[in-house]
């Protein structure tokens, strides 16, 4: 799945690995996203819930047996706003192609 498609998806429940992070103690950690706010993910790592800021890391998501890396700053929106924003962009592109 490409970055744009994944950014439109619900991320809660996905397995995620932190590939890069400004705080090096996070790099390489992985777990399942159990909650999302505008600026953070709550990830279940080794039976503990850990909150990490989206803007300081690159995340590798596993979805449909594929891996996709996203820069956290590109998804630093509330989940409903992130999904809505991506949907609006697709709708505008479709209208542009149809000439309406």
pLDDT (tens digit, 9 = 90+) per residue, 27-79? 999 999 999 999 999 999 999 999 999 999 999 999 888 999 999 998 888 77
Per-residue pLDDT for 93 more than 70? no
CA angle in degrees (0–180, nearest 5) for 2-97-79: 40
Residues contacting 28, CB < 8 A, separation 6+: 17, 18
Q: Which is more confidently placed, 70 or 2?
A: 70
The length of the chain is 100
Q: Residue 38's pLDDT is what?
A: 92
Q: Residue 5's pLDDT is what?
A: 78
Compute the distance between CA of residue 29 and CA of residue 39 in angstroms, rounded to an integer.
Answer: 18
Q: Residue 89's pLDDT is what?
A: 57
Tokens of 88: 């609006």
For every residue of 69-88, DSSP letters joined together read EEEGGGG-S-HHHHHHHHHH
């Amino acid at each position: 799945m490409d970055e744009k498609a994944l950014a439109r998806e619900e991320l809660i429940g996905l397995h995620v690995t932190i590939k890069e992070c400004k705080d090096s103690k996070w790099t390489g950690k992985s777990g399942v996203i159990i909650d999302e706010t505008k600026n953070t993910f709550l990830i279940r790592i080794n039976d503990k819930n850990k909150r990490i800021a989206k803007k300081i890391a690159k995340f590798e998501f596993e979805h449909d047996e594929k891996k996709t890396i996203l820069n956290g700053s590109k998804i630093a929106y509330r989940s409903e706003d992130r999904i809505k924003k991506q949907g609006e962009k697709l709708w505008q592109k479709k209208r542009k192609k149809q000439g309406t």
